[in-house]
Amino acid sequence: MSEEEKKDTRVDRRTFLKGAAATAGIAGAAPAITLAQAGEGGKTAGEKAKAGEGARHVEVIERPGSDFMVDVIKTLGLEYMTLNPGSSFRALHESLVNYGGNKAPELITCMHEEAAVAMAHGYSKAAGKPMGVAIHGTVGLQHATMAIYNAWVDRVPIVMFAGNGLDITKRRPGTEWNHSVQDPALIARDFLKWDDYPMSLTHFAESAVRAYKIAVTPPMEPVLVTADIDLQEEPVHDGARLAIPKLAQSVPPQGDRGALAEAAKWLVEASNPVIIADRCARTPAGVSRLVELAEALQAPVVDLGGRMNFPNTHPLHQTAKRNLMKDADVVLLLEVADPFGQFNSIADPTKKLTHFANKDARVVNISMQDVFLHSNYQDFQRYWPVDLSINGDAEASLPTLTEEVRRLLTDDRRRAFAQRGEKLKDAHARSRKHALEEAAVGWEGSPVSTARMAMELYGVIKDEPWCLAVSDRLDAPRKLWPITQHHQALGGAGAQGVGYCAPGSLGVALANKTRGRFTVTFQPDGDLNYSPGVLWTAAHHRIPILYVMFNNRAYLHETMHIQRMAGLHGRDVSRANIGTTIDNPFVDYAKLAQAYGVWAEGPIDDPSRLAASFRRAVDVVKSGHPALVDVVCQGA
């Protein structure tokens, strides 16, 4: 290169550096304004404006409507509020952080609105109270809907706030129009218990308190209140007259006493009563109440697992539902989502209907299911006629039912019940033995069997105050882990909307963090891939949870559906992997987790290596952080 050329290059580099500096200046402009507004030099922008300082005139709203909204939200006692940020609730967001001090509620950053709602779903089940969610109207709500539907079907209260701007004269051109809607809740109204679009701050206060109350009254469901942008951003004009109504929670409704007495009579007279519970126990008290009833009757309890209703170690806990129903003369359903399915099955793919229960069985149904439902989504299941339908919350109705049962007990009945209890004890022991034998199948196999994965994990966590965040995915823990407490098994997504497990479990872990419980979850691979950013939320907010990847490298349930169809159509079953597997390339979940800042190990396909890895992961979780172990397993 000649001297001349070198000079040119230097000049070029200088020009480039000048250009780069100018660009950096432009990029830096926004933070500079933000700093001025945030109050450099110890003064707030408002104080500076008042003092006449600063070159720029900054209009300051000392008390925006969103501050009052925070006052309202604070009365609801929400510990946390999940969000994915959106300008439709920017004032509320800022007020929560600065005016509200980011405490009660504390904001939890999520990378997808579906994850934000699913976290609130899991949290609610573990904490026994709702959590808040702030959602960007329109596009944010569109992302959130499936998770809202899951919570709806699972009867879980969530208190959601969506931002939206209704007044067209205030909307900024472009994005803000695309992100505005006449009626934000419309997209989710089929699976909301209640929603409102308040038009004043007093209206907001009343609707937020009303929404909370409605959400936590059985049947518990999600609710949504829209926070209008202008209400958030405009100053509070009539602050002195604004009031927040007191939150009065309803006592859960009990079934009619006369009807419960009649049910008690049927149950005491029955030779083979069967109790089926699904979302019966809302609290730990629900479990002990059901134990009392079952023991008073020495009746078998089939726990469908929507919630943890009955200890699986109790001799009256039974799993052979079809056998029991064959001989049942009185069946008691407690908050059972699908009564029809307790008596009938429809074979797949032949669709052949089989009624497997005793046709003469008398059926008592205690549930809030008929009290509140919507028409469009079909989660109400097929109609099933019952003989005594009692509208009432099952957990709240149990004490009266048990009291009536006890009043009717005679020595004769007690003797008969004791004999029944002995038989059920034997049946319980047999089914446990059978479950152990089942679990032993393929014990040494690689990839790892799901039962081996579950039992190796149990061996490591058994002395921890463990909680299985999602308990409807694997058989082995349900059958073999001693599940004795309400919080230990929290059911599933509700509507089987895949994508719940990862964020739902994290919501459970967030609730458990301050409740002295150790959270574990078996994380299906397909499920994690809907919203893997959940791992970042876990790391960022230091939420202790052990994710055990249940990595079968497939949407395996769907593989099985295609296999079934190929069989039905008499065609090549081996092509069922097309469109249903998550392989080639193999997803390295440990690396994925590490990229998000989560301690991780794996993939592990040798079962003998599991225990040591789980032990290391448990240490990480006990130190207050999330951990993930990727287990390559087989089965669904």
Ligand X SMILES: Cc1ncc(C[n+]2csc(CCOP(=O)(O)OP(=O)(O)O)c2C)c(N)n1
What are the residues binding Mg ion (CB under 5 A)? 524-526, 552, 554, 556
By CB under 6 A, name the one of 100, 311, 526, 532 that touches ligand X: 526
By CB under 6 A, name the one of 104, 261, 498, 587 that touches ligand X: 498
**Which residues are CB-contacts of 543 (< 8 A; sequence separation ≥ 6)?**
506, 509, 510, 513, 537, 626
By CB under 6 A, name the one of 43, 170, 513, 557 that touches ligand X: 557
Tell me the closest approach of the beta carbon of residue 555 to Mg ion, in angstroms.
6
Phi, psi of 233 (to 5 degrees): -90, -20
- Residue 154 contacts ligand X per CB under 6 A: no
- Residue 525 contacts ligand X per CB under 6 A: yes
Do 236 and 230 contact (CB within 8 A), yes or no? Answer: no
Partner in contact with 113, chosen from ligand X, Mg ion, none, beta carbon below 5 to 8 Å by kind: none
Partner in contact with 498, chosen from Mg ion, ligand X, none, beta carbon below 5 to 8 Å by kind: ligand X
Distances (CA, A) of 458 to 390, 439, 472: 40, 13, 16
Cis peptide before 184 (omega within 30 of 0): no
Using CB under 6 A as the binding criterion, the count of chain residues that bind ligand X stands at: 16
b/e 521-549 (16+ beta carbons within 10 angstroms → b): bbbbbbbbbbbbbbbbbbbebebbbbbbb
Q: Toward ligand X, which CB reaches closer, 302 or 453? A: 453
Q: Toward ligand X, which CB reaches closer, 361 or 633? A: 633
Tell me the closest approach of the beta carbon of residue 187 to ligand X, in angstroms.
16
Tell me the closest approach of the beta carbon of residue 499 to ligand X, in angstroms.
6
Do 206 and 212 contact (CB within 8 A), yes or no? Answer: no
Instruction: Report d(CA 221, CA 464) in Å as an integer.
Output: 32
Partner in contact with 206, chosen from ligand X, Mg ion, none, beta carbon below 5 to 8 Å by kind: none
Long-range pairs of 258-265 with CB within 8 A, sequence gap ≥ 24: 259/388, 259/390, 260/366, 260/390, 260/397, 260/400, 260/401, 260/404, 261/404, 262/388, 263/332, 263/364, 263/366, 263/388, 263/390, 263/401, 263/404, 264/401, 264/404, 264/405, 264/407, 264/408, 265/404, 265/408
- Residue 586 contacts ligand X per CB under 6 A: no
The one segment of 128-136, 276-284, 318-326, 490-498 that binds ligand X by CB under 6 A = 490-498
The one segment of 409-417, 420-428, 553-561, 586-594 that binds ligand X by CB under 6 A = 553-561
Partner in contact with 449, chosen from ligand X, Mg ion, none, beta carbon below 5 to 8 Å by kind: none
Partner in contact with 336, chosen from Mg ion, ligand X, none, beta carbon below 5 to 8 Å by kind: none
- Residue 496 contacts ligand X per CB under 6 A: yes
Partner in contact with 195, chosen from ligand X, Mg ion, none, beta carbon below 5 to 8 Å by kind: none
Do 69 and 95 contact (CB within 8 A), yes or no? Answer: yes
By CB under 6 A, name the one of 217, 232, 400, 552 that touches ligand X: 552
What's the helix, strand, coil split of the chain in %, to 5?
Answer: 45, 15, 40
- Residue 499 contacts ligand X per CB under 6 A: yes
- Residue 305 contacts ligand X per CB under 6 A: no
By CB under 6 A, name the one of 554, 576, 590, 633 that touches ligand X: 554
Q: Toward ligand X, which CB reaches closer, 194 or 589? A: 589
The one segment of 299-307, 379-387, 404-412, 548-556 that binds ligand X by CB under 6 A = 548-556
Tell me the closest approach of the beta carbon of residue 524 to Mg ion, in angstroms.
5
What residue is closest to ligand X based on CB? 526
- Residue 74 contacts ligand X per CB under 6 A: no
- Residue 556 contacts ligand X per CB under 6 A: yes
Tell me the closest approach of the beta carbon of residue 82 to ligand X, in angstroms.
19
By CB under 6 A, name the one of 100, 105, 255, 524 that touches ligand X: 524
CA 173, 174, 175, 176: dihedral to nearest 10 degrees?
20
Partner in contact with 274, chosen from Mg ion, ligand X, none, beta carbon below 5 to 8 Å by kind: none
The one segment of 61-69, 122-130, 520-528, 607-615 that binds ligand X by CB under 6 A = 520-528
Phi, psi of 563 (to 5 degrees): -60, -45
- Residue 477 contacts ligand X per CB under 6 A: no
- Residue 497 contacts ligand X per CB under 6 A: yes
Phi, psi of 341 (to 5 degrees): -70, -10
Please calculate the CA angle 77-82-86 and round it to the nearest 5 degrees.
120
Q: Toward ligand X, which CB reaches closer, 143 or 282? A: 143
By CB under 6 A, name the one of 466, 547, 555, 614 that touches ligand X: 555
- Residue 587 contacts ligand X per CB under 6 A: no
Instruction: Report d(CA 450, CA 478) in Å as an integer.
Output: 12
Do 190 and 176 contact (CB within 8 A), yes or no? Answer: no
Phi, psi of 388 (to 5 degrees): -140, 105
Partner in contact with 122, chosen from ligand X, Mg ion, none, beta carbon below 5 to 8 Å by kind: none
Instruction: Report d(CA 239, CA 246) in Å as an integer.
Output: 18
- Residue 579 contacts ligand X per CB under 6 A: no
Helical segments of 198-332, H only:
201-215, 229-233, 257-269, 284-297, 321-327
Instruction: Report d(CA 560, CA 553) in Å as an integer.
Output: 13
Both ends of the chain: CA-CA distance in Å?
67
- Residue 534 contacts ligand X per CB under 6 A: no
The one segment of 135-143, 213-221, 492-500, 603-611 that binds ligand X by CB under 6 A = 492-500
Helical segments of 334-410, H only:
394-408
**Which residues are CB-contacts of 329 (< 8 A; sequence separation ≥ 6)?**
270, 271, 272, 273, 358, 360, 361, 362
Q: Toward ligand X, which CB reaches closer, 460 or 556? A: 556
**Which residues are CB-contacts of 12 (< 8 A; sequence separation ≥ 6)?**
none
- Residue 608 contacts ligand X per CB under 6 A: no
DSSP state of 182: S
- Residue 339 contacts ligand X per CB under 6 A: no
Identity of residue 460:
V
- Residue 456 contacts ligand X per CB under 6 A: no
Q: Toward Mg ion, which CB reaches closer, 450 or 512? A: 450
Please give the structure tokens belonging to residue 615. 């032990």
The one segment of 40-48, 370-378, 404-412, 493-501 that binds ligand X by CB under 6 A = 493-501
Q: Which residues bind ligand X (CB under 6 A)?
A: 146, 496-499, 524-527, 552, 554-558, 636
